[in-house]
């Protein structure tokens, strides 16, 4: 193997290690979003998993379940989007802006 190719392989391995570490760190980070003026709050981790959901008791109206459902969906979707944006930004720091498909 040529010296240049060996350096490229070594750099790729180092980047892979950095990305694996970053993915572990991102899993512990959480993003929060709310809907309905804070009536529903969703917390999502860096792996886009819902870790908690808070619903203000005043949002629970048996006559308007649809509104509560909409608030939950909106809060969860916004928290997931924030998490995805955060992951993309952090991974961009590791990869130097290269878009590596399938890495996250």
**What's the pLDDT tens digit per position in 34-43?**
999 999 999 9
**What's the pLDDT tens digit per position in 8-65?**
888 778 878 887 888 788 888 999 999 999 999 999 999 999 999 999 999 999 999 9
Tell me if 104 is assigned to some domain.
no
Range ranked top by mean pLDDT from 10-14, 91-95, 99-103: 10-14
Tell me if 88 is assigned to some domain.
yes
**What's the pLDDT tens digit per position in 64-88?**
999 999 999 999 999 999 999 998 8
Question: How far apart (Å, rounded) are the C-alpha atoms in residues 52 and 43?
Answer: 5
Tell me if 58 is assigned to some domain.
yes
What angle in degrees, to the nearest 10, is found between the helix axes of 3-28 and 65-95?
150
> What is the CATH classification number for the domain harbouring 46?
3.30.1310.10
Tell me if 66 is assigned to some domain.
yes
Tell me if 35 is assigned to some domain.
yes
Tell me if 19 is assigned to some domain.
yes
- State pTM to two decimals: 0.74
Q: 79 lies in which domain range?
A: 3-94
Domain count, the chain: 1
């Amino acid at each position: 193997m040529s010296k240049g190719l060996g350096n490229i392989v070594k750099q790729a391995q180092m980047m892979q290690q950095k990305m694996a570490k970053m993915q572990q760190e991102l899993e512990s980070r959480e993003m929060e979003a709310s809907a309905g003026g804070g009536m529903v709050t969703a917390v999502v981790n860096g792996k886009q998993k819902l870790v908690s959901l808070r619903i203000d008791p005043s949002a629970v109206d048996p006559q308007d379940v649809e509104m509560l459902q909409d608030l939950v969906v909106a809060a969860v979707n916004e928290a997931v989007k924030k998490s995805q944006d955060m992951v993309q930004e952090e991974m961009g720091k590791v990869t130097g802006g290269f878009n590596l498909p399938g890495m996250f």
